[in-house]
């Protein structure tokens, strides 16, 4: 079935059900960013495979909303379908409700559908309110039309769950549950439902392989004052995991029993995070609901010593793989005849993945590699396919954003690499982006500063020239968990989560010139106490306070060949030289003589 | 009566009324920052005269909450009274409700009082909720105990209202009211009550002299779809103003009739801003209340061409007065024998005020001058009194924060001046503050950036050395109105008001080393379109967009003698030289030959 046939089949069901439109968000029953194939309804109905987007289908029209990362990719993927691309945060783009109000203006008492099982309570309630304002459109939430039309829909995965060893987790599951219960008591709650898959994996020190690039497993977790119950398909549990759960007093029940589990929950009240809990489950609860944010993310994002040590080890191995890759790439560009097939975006992706996979404790990629050569580099979340795969020549810029899941840490790194001669414009823009990266990397800030306060540091040099990037500057990175972990972020929008020591955060300014090239330079960083070596000691009460800074975890040379040296200040040059000295010092012991010599050249003082 | 006698008298009334505590905020019935003497209840009961602070009195204890600007001043002023100083935003400081919960823990069914006429709806409702959480303390809002104990309480002022000429206002009152009505319709409101005195003055193009340093008058304004009524004491209205109001279809009623006015308001609904409307008036309304923010501030803070031209003229005159003052100060320090009395904080304040008063269109100061010599400079809102007045010697730093009300514009400027030799520490800190000032002054940012996003630019160099200032970096400045105008601000806390062209904003980083000295460098700036002269033209949709920057309105040399030249980058030096060239160019034509020569020296290239 092609997209138009799928739309035809959907509209037949919609007609039978008297639905004027149906909304397909990109989430699953757990509000995951990356979802199991079973839940890729939006991709199935629209053909757009980006990680974020919402498809809306009426009887006569269809539209897809996505953000700036995916504008170019979505345009390509929607070509030839009846979908209209709706660019989020661009002036003039209607909201979904506004668009439906317009499209359904001739329909009498229109009803719109959304699957309330894969949509959070907050989103559904907002949608109900927004649609009511559009001439009283109503919303139905108890129905998934694709059950009738998506014939070869993948089943929910049955992959085995494994125990995440304490040496990497750093804190036992029993201790974590005790901490969660204390936090619940502070919110006057007797228990909670955990829907977020990474929060479940973190709490229980379990990992899985149900979701692409993310070591989680499909489940719910119900915590009360005396009981902890894991709702998951029991076929996923090995003997070892069963014994581990028993040992930690975690009961199990089947995944499909979660509604019953909520109905028979015996305490006075239950905390449900409306941003995390699906609308259908929120409505299934019979006890008093305490609508508050889950206490788990705030615990999970502050890494313990074992986790930090794990990141540091994983980053060394990831750096070794990156260095071997970069050396191979450089040599391959110089003697293309030595290669079996010409260099292309896909072939270098395969090579890089193979080099990472050689490393101990490697488990998976942490997201699909973005290898964008020249104009493809301007597509923020470009993913090369056999149709788009571009041959790589010894000139211009390659934007390479990649990462891996190692059992002791998750990595996320972007390098933009000059493959040969680059234009003056490329050098100029590359240096602006690097200056922003360094400004954030050098920042010192008071404990509990918000990411929004720091964001301008990475953008200031771009803004001065009328350039900007519409994605965030930084996001948290999980500890052998999701590569995007929150709620800490560094971005233009207000994010109230304060930064404290031992949080991870990426530093990834970029710039994208459509049709020409893209530049992004990203290190994963960790928040550490700053040594504010003052010129003079200050002991005034108002001035006292602890300060933080960002320390790079990522260890990989930053290409110096596209830098315009005169655009860097002495301080910026010093930061880059210091970083390169660190990269060399940490990676050299694991490299061959030849590799070491290569790295020595790449990290030599500017 | 001294403070302790006042407390005694208050407690007698509290006992009669069965009140366990009484709360005295620093606002008036109009939520003004600066209030008429009649409403200075908090100052009368506590002796603390800062612009922000809340006094709370129980039968056995008393406490005063204020912010970091006033910590040192409050400590001095509360000495010898039973008041305990509560430092806002300092760890460990209880909230008022928490403190009352603790102080009244032995009292049965405690009731606390606050005058609901001088307290906003939002504040009262928050307080009701906070006190309820402290073991069920209740709040009484219909009673002002000082009516019985404050014998010589000043009456409400009866100063004459005057028309603010159209050549300065730039937009007629009828046009403004039409714009307000359009904004109200967008909020589905039929009318509104305006309580904020500067919003009333702005809307009607009227000014007064009821409040210290702020050209407003005591009134309420009630706007409906067909009627506009000004509630004010009719003795304040001259023939001219009466005619002007009539001409603009503004009816008048007595100030004390506002409750009746609200009761007889005839439309379906009324917009009341809960942050601006006193609790008592909110409760007096019988129609449906639309609780939304007032549409007026968003209009008032975007200055029209006449207002901008007015600022520019006023800043030239203010700059001339400042230059004459600085030259006089320098010469007086060199030949003190020429003076009648020794130089002191108070005497230089008088001299500066006299020089400003010589300027055309001068009407008043825009706030009490802060002239803090050496250690007094570390008291953020220091106001010299005859007791504290420090003699000024030809050494160290003088922090001078001052401004004036001219009929065509309000000014606000801070200079920190080396009076002779300064220490290495002073030079170092001065240069850090200047670097922050310049970083913000040089910033280019997208249209609608929030002040919170830019704040770090001014703080980054201080933070690196473990220093910070706890006040905001910038606030709006009125057009012959309040020197503090909002809601636009540049500060660490989140302020959602976006910056757009033609808003005023100050740029005033500082640092305060208690017991030693303070540094602050402040220019009033205006938001203007930025020329993002790009290295290469970029026409990608995602990159397009208009950019803004801050242009200094203030014209006065920044002292270069305390600068450590090696700490400035070339870009920073260039900014300072360009600014000084501008100051010279604009002020020179109004100066005598001797003054011009002096200014030439002070603005020579660094």
Question: Which chain B residues touch A532 with a CB distance below 8 Å?
Answer: 463-467
Q: What is the pLDDT of residues A370-398, one digit of tens each?
A: 999 999 999 887 888 888 899 999 999 99
Percent of all residues in chain A with a pLDDT value above 70, rounded to a whole number: 98
Of the pLDDT bands very low, low, confident and very high (cuts 50, 70, 90), residue B534 is low
Q: What is the mean predicted confidence (pLDDT) over A3-26? A: 96
Contact at 8 Å (CB) between A296 and A203? Answer: yes
Test the B interface: residue of A466, A468, A514, A519 with most B CBs within 10 Å: A466
What average pLDDT does the structure give for chain B?
95
Q: Which residue has the tokens 């009846």?
A: A82
Question: Which chain B residues touch A534 with a CB distance below 8 Å?
Answer: 465-467
DSSP-assigned letter for residue B373: E
Helix axes A121-132, A96-103, angle to 10 degrees: 40
Kindly tell me if the per-residue pLDDT of B44 is higher than 90.
yes
Q: What is the pLDDT of residues A54-101, one digit of tens each?
A: 999 999 999 999 998 788 889 999 999 999 999 998 989 999 999 999
Q: For chain B, percent helix, then strand, then coil, each to nearest 5?
A: 40, 20, 40
Of the pLDDT bands very low, low, confident and very high (cuts 50, 70, 90), residue B51 is confident
Question: Which chain B residues touch A469 with a CB distance below 8 Å?
Answer: 542
Write out the H or E segment, with its range, that includes residue A404. Answer: strand A404-406
**What's the length of chain A?**
606
Test the A interface: residue of B542, B568, B570, B571 with most A CBs within 10 Å: B542
For residue B402, what are the β-bridge partners?
B413
Q: What is the mean predicted confidence (pLDDT) over A42-65? A: 96
| Residue from A469, A472, A467, A471 nearest A454 by CA | A472
Collect contacts of A489-492 with beta carbons under 8 A, ≥24 apart: A489/A451, A490/A440, A490/A451, A490/A452, A490/A454, A490/A455, A490/A458, A491/A451, A491/A452, A491/A455, A492/A452, A492/A455, A492/A459, A492/B449, A492/B453
Q: What is the pLDDT of residues A264-305, one digit of tens each?
A: 999 999 999 999 999 999 999 999 999 999 999 999 999 999
Write out the H or E segment, with its range, that includes residue A112. Answer: strand A111-114
| Residue from A298, A293, A300 nearest A121 by CA | A293
User: Which pLDDT does position B535 carry in this prediction?
Assistant: 65
Of the pLDDT bands very low, low, confident and very high (cuts 50, 70, 90), residue A535 is low
Percent of all residues in chain B with a pLDDT value above 90, rounded to a whole number: 90
Q: Which residue has the tokens 């009244």?
A: B104
Q: Between vectors from CA A152 to CA A150 and to CA A156, what angle results, nearest 5°? A: 95
Two structure tokens written together for A457: 């540091």
Residue B68 sits at φ, ψ, to 5 deg, of -60, -25
**Smallest CA–CA distance from B444 into chain A, residue:** A464
Q: CB distance A540–B513 less than 8 Å?
A: yes
Question: Which chain B residues touch A542 with a CB distance below 8 Å?
Answer: 68, 71, 468-470, 512, 514
**Closest partner CB to A428 (pick from B512, B536, B543):** B536
Kindly tell me if the per-residue pLDDT of A339 is higher than 90.
no
User: Which pLDDT does position B72 carry in this prediction?
Assistant: 84
Q: What is the mean predicted confidence (pLDDT) over B270-279? A: 97
Q: Identify the burial level of B134 via C-beta atoms within 10 angstroms of its C-beta, where 0-12 means exposed, 13-18 middle and 19 or more buried.
A: buried
Q: CB distance B535–A569 less than 8 Å?
A: no
User: Which pLDDT does position B540 carry in this prediction?
Assistant: 47
Instruction: Tell me how far apart the alpha carbons of residues B558 and B604 are, in angstroms, rounded to a whole number.
Output: 11
Q: What is the pLDDT of residues A465-490, one digit of tens each?
A: 999 998 999 999 999 999 999 999 99
Longest dimension (CA), chain B: 77
C-alpha distance across the termini of chain B, in Å:
56
Q: Which string of DSSP letters, residue by residue, matches A389-403?
A: --B--SSSEEEEEE-
Q: What is the mean predicted confidence (pLDDT) over B256-264? A: 94
> Distance, in angstroms, between A165 CA and closest chain B CA?
38
Instruction: Tell me how far apart the alpha carbons of residues A524 and A473 are, in angstroms, rounded to a whole number.
Output: 11
User: Which pLDDT does position B511 carry in this prediction?
Assistant: 96
**Closest partner CB to A540 (pick from B425, B514, B538):** B514
Q: What is the mean predicted confidence (pLDDT) over B238-245? A: 98
Pairing of strands A162-163, A206-207: antiparallel
Q: CB distance B443–A465 less than 8 Å?
A: no
Kindly tell me if the per-residue pLDDT of B520 is higher than 90.
yes
**Closest partner CB to A456 (pick from B456, B541, B547):** B456
Longest dimension (CA), chain A: 77
For residue A510, what are the β-bridge partners?
A520
HEC string for B430-481: HHHHHHHHHHHHHCEEECCCEHHHHHHHHHHHHHCCCCCCCCCCEEECCCCC
Kindly tell me if the per-residue pLDDT of A541 is higher than 60.
no
User: Which pLDDT does position B544 carry in this prediction?
Assistant: 47
Kindly tell me if the per-residue pLDDT of A544 is higher than 50.
no
Cα–chain center distance at A517: 23
User: Which pLDDT does position B545 carry in this prediction?
Assistant: 56
**Smallest CA–CA distance from B546 into chain A, residue:** A466
**What's the length of chain B?**
606
Q: What is the pLDDT of residues B402-426, one digit of tens each?
A: 999 999 999 999 999 999 999 999 9
Kindly tell me if the per-residue pLDDT of A534 is higher than 80.
no
Q: CB distance A463–B456 less than 8 Å?
A: no
**Closest partner CB to A547 (pick from B455, B463, B530):** B463
Q: CB distance B446–A453 less than 8 Å?
A: no
Half-sphere exposure of B478 (CA within 13 A, CB side): 25
At A131 the three-state DSSP class reads helix
Q: What is the pLDDT of residues A159-197, one digit of tens each?
A: 999 999 999 999 999 999 999 999 999 999 999 999 999
Q: What is the pLDDT of residues A401-421, one digit of tens each?
A: 999 999 999 999 999 999 999
User: Which pLDDT does position A536 carry in this prediction?
Assistant: 56
User: Which pLDDT does position A539 carry in this prediction?
Assistant: 52
Torsion B313-B316-B320-B325 (CA) sign: positive
Q: What is the pLDDT of residues A126-166, one digit of tens each?
A: 999 999 999 899 999 999 999 999 999 999 999 999 999 99
Q: Which residue has the tokens 């809307």?
A: B203
Cis peptide before A487 (omega within 30 of 0): yes
Which parts of B94-210 are beta strand (E)? 111-114, 138-140, 162-163, 192-194, 206-207
Q: What is the pLDDT of residues B306-343, one digit of tens each?
A: 999 999 999 999 999 999 999 999 999 999 888 888 89
HEC string for A229-257: EEECCHHHCCHHHHHHHHHCCEEEECHHH
Q: CB distance B470–A569 less than 8 Å?
A: no
Residue A416 sits at φ, ψ, to 5 deg, of -110, 125
Of the pLDDT bands very low, low, confident and very high (cuts 50, 70, 90), residue B261 is very high
User: Which pLDDT does position B541 carry in this prediction?
Assistant: 44
Q: CB distance A547–B443 less than 8 Å?
A: no
Q: What is the pLDDT of residues A587-601, one digit of tens each?
A: 999 999 999 999 999
Question: Which chain A residues touch B547 with a CB distance below 8 Å?
Answer: 463, 466
Q: CB distance A460–B470 less than 8 Å?
A: no
Instruction: Tell me how far apart the alpha carbons of residues A16 and A144 are, in angstroms, rounded to a whole number.
Output: 13
User: Which pLDDT does position B173 carry in this prediction?
Assistant: 97
User: Which pLDDT does position B34 carry in this prediction?
Assistant: 86
Q: What is the pLDDT of residues B435-458, one digit of tens each?
A: 999 999 999 999 999 999 999 999
**Smallest CA–CA distance from A454 into chain B, residue:** B456
At B302 the three-state DSSP class reads coil
User: Which pLDDT does position B381 carry in this prediction?
Assistant: 79
Instruction: Tell me how far apart the alpha carbons of residues A395 and A422 are, in angstroms, rounded to a whole number.
Output: 6
Percent of all residues in chain B with a pLDDT value above 70, rounded to a whole number: 98
**Smallest CA–CA distance from B380 into chain A, residue:** A542
Of the pLDDT bands very low, low, confident and very high (cuts 50, 70, 90), residue B555 is very high
C-alpha distance across the termini of chain A, in Å:
56
Task: Please report the ipTM that was assigned to this predicted complex.
Answer: 0.90
DSSP-assigned letter for residue A271: E
Instruction: Tell me how far apart the alpha carbons of residues A586 and A313 are, in angstroms, rounded to a whole number.
Output: 10
User: Which pLDDT does position A543 carry in this prediction?
Assistant: 46
Rg (CA), chain B: 25
Name the strands in the sheet holding A62-66, side by side, starting at the edge strand that comes first in the sequence. Answer: A83-87, A62-66, A54-58, A21-24, A111-114, A138-140
| Residue from B254, B493, B12 nearest A496 by CA | B493
HEC string for B506-532: EECCEEEECCCEEEECEEEEEEEECCC
Half-sphere exposure of B138 (CA within 13 A, CB side): 8
What average pLDDT does the structure give for chain A?
95
Number of other residues whose CB lies within 10 A of the CB of residue A98:
14
Cα–chain center distance at A145: 28
């Amino acid at each position: 079935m092609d997209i138009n046939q799928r739309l035809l089949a959907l509209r037949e069901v919609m007609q039978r059900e008297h639905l004027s439109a149906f909304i397909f968000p990109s989430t699953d029953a757990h509000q995951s960013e990356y979802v199991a194939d079973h839940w890729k309804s939006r991709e199935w109905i629209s053909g757009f495979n980006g990680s974020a987007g919402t498809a809306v289908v009426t009887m006569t029209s269809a539209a897809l909303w996505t953000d700036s990362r995916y504008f170019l990719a979505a345009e390509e993927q929607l070509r030839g379908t009846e979908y209209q691309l709706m660019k989020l945060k661009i002036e003039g783009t209607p909201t979904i409700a506004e668009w439906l109000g317009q499209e359904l203006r001739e329909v009498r008492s229109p009803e719109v559908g959304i699957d309330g099982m894969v949509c959070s309570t907050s989103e559904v309630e907002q949608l109900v309110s927004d649609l009511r304002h559009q001439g009283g459109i109503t919303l139905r939430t108890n129905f998934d039309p694709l059950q009738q039309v998506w014939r070869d829909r993948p089943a929910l995965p049955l992959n085995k769950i494994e125990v995440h060893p304490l040496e990497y987790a750093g804190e036992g599951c029993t201790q974590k549950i005790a901490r969660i219960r204390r936090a619940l008591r502070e919110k006057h709650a007797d228990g909670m439902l955990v829907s977020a898959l990474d929060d479940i994996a973190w709490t229980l020190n379990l990992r899985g392989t149900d979701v692409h690039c993310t070591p989680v497993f499909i489940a719910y977790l119900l915590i009360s004052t005396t009981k902890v119950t894991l709702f998951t398909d029991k076929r996923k549990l090995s003997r070892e995991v069963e014994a581990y759960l028993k040992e930690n007093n975690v009961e199990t029940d089947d995944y499909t029993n979660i509604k019953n589990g909520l109905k028979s929950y015996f305490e006075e009240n239950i905390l449900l995070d409306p941003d995390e809990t699906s609308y259908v489950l929120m409505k299934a609860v019979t006890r008093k609901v305490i609508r508050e944010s889950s206490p788990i993310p705030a615990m999970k994002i502050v890494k313990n010593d074992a986790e930090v040590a794990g990141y540091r080890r994983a980053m060394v191995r990831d750096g070794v793989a990156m260095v071997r890759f970069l050396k191979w790439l450089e040599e391959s560009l110089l003697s293309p005849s030595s290669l079996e097939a010409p260099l292309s975006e896909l072939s270098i992706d395969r090579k890089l993945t193979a080099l990472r996979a050689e490393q101990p404790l490697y488990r998976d990629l942490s997201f699909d590699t973005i290898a964008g050569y020249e104009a493809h580099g301007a597509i923020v979340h470009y993913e090369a396919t056999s149709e788009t795969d571009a041959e790589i020549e010894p000139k211009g810029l390659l934007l390479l954003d990649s990462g891996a899941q190692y059992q002791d840490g998750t990595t996320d790194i972007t390098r933009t690499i000059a493959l040969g001669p680059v234009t003056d414009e490329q050098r100029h823009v590359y240096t602006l982006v690097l200056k922003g990266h360094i400004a954030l990397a050098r920042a010192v800030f008071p404990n509990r500063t918000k990411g929004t306060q720091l964001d301008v540091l990475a953008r200031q040099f771009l803004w001065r020239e009328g350039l900007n990037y519409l994605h965030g500057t930084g996001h948290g990175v999980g500890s052998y968990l999701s590569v995007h972990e929150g709620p800490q972020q560094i971005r233009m929008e207000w994010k109230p989560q304060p930064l404290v020591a031992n949080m991870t955060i990426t530093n990834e300014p970029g710039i994208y010139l459509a049709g020409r090239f893209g530049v992004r330079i990203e290190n994963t960083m960790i928040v550490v106490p700053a040594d504010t070596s003052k010129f003079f000691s200050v002991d005034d009460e108002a001035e006292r306070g602890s300060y933080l800074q960002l320390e790079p975890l990522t260890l990989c040379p930053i290409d110096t060949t596209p830098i315009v040296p005169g655009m860097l200040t002495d301080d910026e040059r010093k930061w880059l030289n210091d970083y390169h000295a660190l990269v060399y010092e940490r990676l050299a012991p694991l490299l061959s003589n030849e590799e070491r010599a290569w790295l020595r050249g790449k990290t030599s003082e500017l």
